[in-house]
Structure 1
Amino acid sequence: MTVVDELVPSRYAQRVGDIEVLVISDGVLPITASTLATNADAADLAAWLEDMFLPPEVLDWPLNVAVVRSGDQTILIDSGLGLEFPGFPRAGQLAMRLQAAGIAPAAVTDVVLTHLHMDHVGGLLADGLRGRMRPDLRIHLASAEAEFWSSPDFSRTVMPAPIPDVLRTTASRFLEVYRSQLRPFETEYEVAPGVRVCRTGGHTPGHSIVRVESGGQRLTFAGDAVFQPGFENPQWHNGFEHDPEEAARVRVRLLREMAATGESLVATHLSFPSVCRVAVAGDAFRFVPTVWDY
């Protein structure tokens, strides 16, 4: 695999006490703007998009993963999209960018999956990583998530027509390939010192977040619990949410907690590197980007 010199940064290191968090961009993928707020008035969504200088029909959706080093463990949080989806040629960069960061796939001791949507597990099915991970790799996933994908319910989602079948196929294939390495948990599990994965539900029944804490500092990788519109409009439903009302409740609880603690937030689909803090703004919230530490 050839690693090219890229004109834009694709990884960002953030220390949390004694723990190193490396946010890595897997690229961007297109998303229909209406998917960001399926229950919003069309004029309200159009006004929000205009205020954010975003196109009205289709926009680029950032895709972030993270590598966490705690003690002698190297933990990959999600794995991006992979390379086998021709409609998304600008995503699926993880294997190349891990190599550019000097992280060999065999050095990864654990994987934490926030959920089994294809843009979170596809990287582990791609040639750049599949077959190059260590044989004793531990993959941590909520039991409820694995159970859900045995017979997934898309009745409350609002996705483009081909997507549910692709999600179903990808999740089934992932479970088939990696089932022997799964380490399922019920509610939460300490993956490494200072690194806990906690099930939230909502986005999917087993959707989980990762809490990192060391030396009095905290950071949460929120997966798909928070999207870009979710700060100003936390009640807006995303079309990929399998239980949109519960997803909104999870989002509000999480954002309230983070505003109270002042901890850092990283999420899959916030603009890279997505490291930010949360402030309360009336009945909603405000995204406060962290100043880059060069």
Structure 2
Amino acid sequence: MSRIKCIGILTSGGDAPGMNAAIRAVTRAAIFNGIEVKGILRGYRGLIFDEIIPFKSNSVSNIIQQGGTILKTARCKEFTTVEGRKIAYEALQREGIEALIVIGGDGSLTGARIFAQEYNFPIVGLPGTIDNDLMGTDFTIGYDTALNTIMEAVDKIRDTASSHERLFIIEVMGRECGFLCLNGAIASGAEAAIIPERIEEEDQLGELISNGFRKSKNSSLVLVTEGDITGGAMGIADRIKRDFPEYDCRVSILGHVQRGGSPTASDRILASRMGAAAIEALKDDQRNVMIGVQDDKIVYVPFSKAIKKNKQISDELLNVLKILSI
């Protein structure tokens, strides 16, 4: 075992349900192995502005059920600069922190990869993002909870859609990744999912309209991934009003409600497994890797393979939605 005596832990980027469960697991697994833990507040910003506090076992008591992150999170422009990262490294040296656990998404792990390369510093990442857009892991922390939040919200919207016999366009998060949208549509029984991965291959809205979605139903729900690629819910609604004015269309943007709430059992278990695995990775002299889960087994994924790759949407899931929406 590489004798790391002290680690730092931070959460960065957008918050995700289950981050607290991960913080708890990392902290207690480290203490179990005789490693001191220091919490870094507000992500990378906490390194630059010296917001570092000691963490004990009771520091993470009664947080596994809480959404958000007790360490807080913030964007940090300073960390994107060479000068800012130098200040961060000096803070780690001053605090005696010998390795870093970073919980976050694509942007957070990109920052970790750059910092690790510049200073040859051991970092292990945990995939904390509701988008499920990181390669090398079947699921990310927060994805299952966000998916359940979407399902519950769409179930409620269906009630009013049915009452008024309307077409509802519902916008969900995900940016360039359609996992939340596609699986949310299947789980809620929606008629279509407009996702960025298929926007150039087919006119998803046009296909829905041409199939006569109102023939056998008194209402219809269409989920769309946010962002410029799809045009978002407002862009889709504008097109319907322009090209298909005969349909009574309404828009609902779910927004940040998708990030909140108590994490599901699946997210708590995933975060706990990944948090404990992060300490095992350091014990095994692993560095600059993300903890992933593939086929229910823990894996170590190099940052370069986890970041900015096109995680594939399943054609099977697309076909399931198409078949079940008739």
Same fold by TM-score, threshold 0.5 exceeded?
Answer: no
Q: Which has the higher helix share?
A: 2
The TM-score with structure 1 as length reference comes to 0.26
